[in-house]
Amino acid sequence: MTTEEEALRRPIGWWLKQADARLNAAFDRALAGTGIDRRGWQILSTLRSRPISRTELVASLSPFDRPEVIREVVAGLESQQLLVESAGLLRLTPDGAHKRADIAPLIDGVRGQISGAFSTEEYGTLVRLLARLTDSVD
C-alpha cells in the first residue's frame, strides 16, 4: 500500500498513467477467454441501449481509441455475428445481446473492485477533481 508521503513524491501525470494502465490490465484479465476485448465490450454495451450509426459509434468512443481501431473492432464483431447493420444503424444480434449479458458480471466485478477502493463521497470527489483537472488543461 502506498503511503501518502510516497504518493506525493510522484507527479499527477505518473499516477494518471499508472491508473489507466492498471484499469486496462484489470479489464483485460476479466475479459480473457471471452473472445471480446475492452473496446468490443464498449461497443456491445453502447449498442445495448439503442441502435446507432457507425459514425455516431466512432464519435462516442473517440476518447478511448482511434477511429480505425473502432472500425476494426466493429468489423470483428460483425464477423462473429454479434452485431449487424440494417437501415444504416448498427444493432446487436440476439447472440450479441447474449454475449454482452454473459460478460456483464465480469465487468461489474472489476467496477466493484474499483468502487470498493472509495467511499461514495470519495468517489464523487475523485471524479469531480478529475473533471476539473481535465477542464483546466485545454
Q: Does residue 126 lie in a domain region?
A: yes
Predicted structure pTM score: 0.85
Q: Does residue 116 lie in a domain region?
A: yes
Q: Does residue 4 lie in a domain region?
A: no
* Angle (nearest 5°) at CA 114 between 131 and 14: 55
Which pLDDT score is estimated for 96?
A: 97
Which pLDDT score is estimated for 6?
A: 82
CATH number for the domain including 40? 1.10.10.10
Which pLDDT score is estimated for 94?
A: 97
Task: Give the number of domains in the chain.
Answer: 1
Secondary structure (3-state) at 99: helix
Kindly give the confidence (pLDDT) of every residue in the chain, 138 residues in length, as a single tens digit, with 9 standing for 90 and above.
788 888 788 898 999 999 999 999 999 999 999 999 999 999 999 999 999 999 999 999 999 999 999 999 999 999 999 999 999 999 999 999 999 999 999 999 999 999 899 999 999 999 999 999 999 987
Full residue range of the structural domain in which residue 63 is found: 9-136
Going by C-beta distance under 8 Å and a sequence separation of 6 or more, which residues neighbour residue 24?
A: 38
Q: Does residue 2 lie in a domain region?
A: no
- Dmax over CA atoms of the chain, in Å, equals 57
Q: Does residue 3 lie in a domain region?
A: no
Q: Does residue 67 lie in a domain region?
A: yes
Q: Does residue 29 lie in a domain region?
A: yes
Q: What DSSP assignment string belongs to 47-80?
A: HHH--B-HHHHHHHTTTTS-HHHHHHHHHHHHHT
Which pLDDT score is estimated for 97?
A: 97
Which pLDDT score is estimated for 5?
A: 83
Q: Does residue 100 lie in a domain region?
A: yes
Burial of 107 (0-12, 13-18, 19+ CB in 10 A): middle
Residue 87 CA neighbour count, 13 Å, CB half: 3
